[in-house]
A and B are shown apart, each in its own frame.
Chain A
């Protein structure tokens, strides 16, 4: 009797053990860039610098960029790389940079993350390049490479560069919704001031009013949108965007400064079907 009990107990234990351990025998390497696309890579200083994005390429507007650096000799990715970047547009008559974040390490310390907001795309005569300063294993390197920046594939406006009524140049870029849906979407945008060709500080505590319209539907609008207001933590502007159906939407905007003076954009009325400040969405 005892042996039978013992036998059964062991059998059960064995089954439990086998069924529990089946998956974690070897720790699966989680690929930190599995969800991302490799946009470009630079071979330099015995390293390969890989630039990833959620999209297939860099486009005008807000681009989240993921960078990791591989050592060509060891075939390993460097952890805790300290990277700084300077994007630069080489126009025919002048050069300028663009608004950008700092690069910070992600949970996986081989990958750094930041964003760049390109005001314009490259063309035959004008191009963007990216200067990277990075420190790995105590050594500092520098490299500059050309990058391709395209207009968005759908041709829709996700960034607006304009001169406000205060004679200041602003850059307003849409961050979210990247994948709009028929619902109340979280609406996020960044606002920068162009101080000079190289300096683009964040503009704080302004307000951007939101009026989404469907030009194909007699300028149908939606209820319960929330104007974009400044969020000090993310240093971005946050609001709500209601989209009542799929299709092409023009998000009419109006920029107001902290004294509620309109710097750019107009109200949408029967006579004025659109604002001069807007984003576009199509889904």
Chain B
């Protein structure tokens, strides 16, 4: 039955895509015109040269060990995707509990980022950001996470802070591959049990991968032994990938992921989640060449997210309520490269159509009274189509990358009830609204051996998110205010400059990295004291508004030293600051943070000792619900060993996190919910070749 639904849904996908295409015909024209322009350059085109220095400003977090089985490189192989992302230098995770952390990049969260799964746009269905899309995949699905800062992420979609693209792990027509593996993990602190299995079959013309993972955790205990109630969760994830090669240079691939979490507690929030479910599907076609273009890749996708908030487990709440939400996204993209000896072009056309609907029903304490119903997301349909182009130009020992994105963005309130609700605040709003968004960036890289210098400037705009534009009394427990969207918001802009200097020696690497954002029309909620709160116990109502501007700066210093070939030390320090035009501190800006590890890795043995910590938070803003976070330092260690049983590998790893059982919370911990105390973890993987 489920399969039938999926099929009929995919059928709708195609219908919707036709709609998107007709709507974006002018963009298509633009794209075609460009192709003609490119054709004019055909004369200069020669064999694809590799002379151009790539500009690698992306940070790549390796997740899967499917291909390499180099668990040695990972301190904790079966950890959640959230823990992997947290290990990235530019990423911080907002925690509302033990599950579904929300990634922040350059101290900016979901609405300022483009978070994609293999290039697919997915949007959480929770009005309270309890389901960042990273919660709908698991490490078993993924090979790596690509993190691009600022407008460098514009390839994946409209963004301000950057992009995170989670790459799905595929066997990709590898010859004669047939593997199976079983994985088992256990953690003591919250009795987390992880069970995983996967099977991969691949040959030159065909591959199929399947995996399943199951996680179940009880409440965790903070440092000192305090139980953090409502921090349990249970989830499972299934995925299936397949590919078929017709002949050399033409291939069709498909992906289906099903993810379901139940009974997820959110200790920092007044509500939990009884169901968070996603179906993620895609079909891709790839062709090696298209005329003068190479690597022509196209994908159509559909995903459906269902999220049900529930407070039935909470002993005392002012009022019982149900808050289900739905988010369906249909999308496509098509991209191709063009390489000449000096230029490397990338052209991409993409689009998505999203439907976001969320409702709230409250049950009065007096059972005689009628339930109270409102639409918190009034069935907002977002149609977004864009063209992205980039050109990397190679010079002697240097290269320049210029890129641009043009996007048309339309929002429409499809529900009459929702439109009438918003008209209480905005009597004149139209159901439909179109915006044009743009992004342009230039990035220059130069080698002065042993130094490398990167710098860039860029400009980008974004449209308000569904909550910012159309949210209706969304309660934010962080600052204890109800938020009302504002359809009259201007596009938020971002002017960004970045620089990175690195010194690379055979044993020693040091790099300094910095970026600065000036964001005119920065979108943030401001108190409207004339409005009455909806949520019982809330302190006030905030309306999303455009500030004149806000500024953010991020600086970091990263060093790596290979003491011995098998012994490596790494240290990382970062400084962040964010303030608005009145010099008010912006919320969720990291204090001075540091991390360091020393790692031993030789043949089958692995050991790591790490510390991470932060200084006392100096810049914080009670207006946005913040209080001062104290300094902390946390120590962890891990040990691993690989055993060989005939041809097969057995890998065991164990470790301790928060060795000294420190009670702490960080600036990203929602309402100071404490982090996990001492935790022992064990993982065992058995791979049959």
Contacts and interface: CB of A to CB of B under 8 A. Distances in A.
Interface of A: 181-184, 214, 216-224, 242-248, 282-283
A216 B363 CA distance: 9
Contact of A223 (B371, B417, B420, B424): B424
B12 interface: no
Contacts of B374: 182, 244-246
B369 A216 contact: yes
Nearest to B420: A183
Q: Name which of B319, B366, B424 has the most chain A CB atoms within 10 A of its CB.
A: B424
A220 B532 contact: yes
Contact of A217 (B417, B472, B536): B536
B34 to A, nearest CB: 47
A244 B366 contact: no
A282 B319 CA distance: 18
A119 B364 CA distance: 30
Contacts of A184: 420, 423-424, 427
B537 A218 contact: yes
A184 B366 CA distance: 26
A282 B370 contact: yes
Interface in B455-488: 472-473
B573 interface: no
A183 B427 CA distance: 10
Given A184-B427, A216-B364, A217-B536, A248 B420 contact: no
Given A182-B420, A218-B318, A244 B473 contact: yes
B533 interface: yes
B421 interface: yes
A223 to B, nearest CB: 6
Given A217-B536, A244-B473, A248-B364, A222 B372 contact: no
Contacts of A222: 424, 532
A49 to B, nearest CB: 37
Contacts of A183: 420-421, 423-424
Given A217-B362, A218-B537, A245-B373, A182 B319 contact: no
Interface in B348-367: 360, 362, 364-366
B510 to A, nearest CB: 56
Interface string B524-537: 00000011111011
Given A181-B420, A223-B424, A247 B532 contact: no
A221 B473 CA distance: 12
B425 interface: yes
Contacts of A216: 319, 362, 364-366, 369, 372
Interface of B: 318-319, 360, 362, 364-366, 369-374, 417, 420-421, 423-425, 427, 472-473, 530-534, 536-537
A219 B319 CA distance: 13
B372 A247 contact: yes
A115 B500 CA distance: 80
A214 B372 contact: yes
Given A182-B373, A217-B534, A220-B533, 20 more contacts: A181-B417, A182-B417, A183-B421, A183-B424, A184-B427, A216-B319, A216-B362, A216-B364, A223-B424, A223-B425, A223-B530, A224-B425, A242-B424, A243-B424, A245-B360, A245-B374, A247-B364, A248-B370, A248-B372, A282-B370
Nearest to A218: B536
Contacts of B362: 216-217, 245, 247
Task: Give 8 closest A-B pairs by Cβ, nearest first.
Answer: A247-B372, A183-B420, A221-B532, A245-B374, A216-B364, A218-B536, A246-B373, A242-B424
A183 to B, nearest CB: 3
22 contacts: A182-B374, A182-B420, A183-B423, A214-B372, A216-B366, A217-B319, A218-B537, A220-B532, A220-B534, A224-B424, A224-B425, A244-B421, A244-B473, A244-B534, A245-B360, A245-B362, A245-B374, A246-B373, A247-B362, A247-B364, A248-B369, A282-B370
Main secondary structure of the interface of B (DSSP, over half): loop
A182 B364 contact: no
A224 B427 contact: yes
B372 A246 contact: yes
A223 B531 contact: yes
Contacts of A242: 424
A184 B365 CA distance: 26
A217 to B, nearest CB: 6
Contacts of B371: 246-247
Contacts of A182: 373-374, 417, 420-421
Contact of B370 (A218, A224, A244, A246): A246
Q: Name which of A183, A222, A282 has the most chain B CB atoms within 10 A of its CB.
A: A183
A243 B530 CA distance: 16
A9 B533 CA distance: 70
A214 to B, nearest CB: 7
Nearest to B373: A246
A181 B417 CA distance: 8
A27 B534 CA distance: 54
A208 B223 CA distance: 59
Contacts of B366: 216
Contacts of B423: 183-184
Contacts of A282: 369-370
A224 B484 CA distance: 14
Contacts of A214: 372
A175 to B, nearest CB: 21
Nearest to A184: B424
B375 to A, nearest CB: 8
A182 B537 CA distance: 23
Contacts of B531: 223
A232 B425 CA distance: 29
Nearest to B533: A220
Nearest to B424: A242
Contacts of B427: 184, 224
A176 to B, nearest CB: 16
Contacts of B534: 217, 220, 244-245
Nearest to B484: A223
A223 B473 CA distance: 12
A91 B686 CA distance: 91
A198 to B, nearest CB: 38
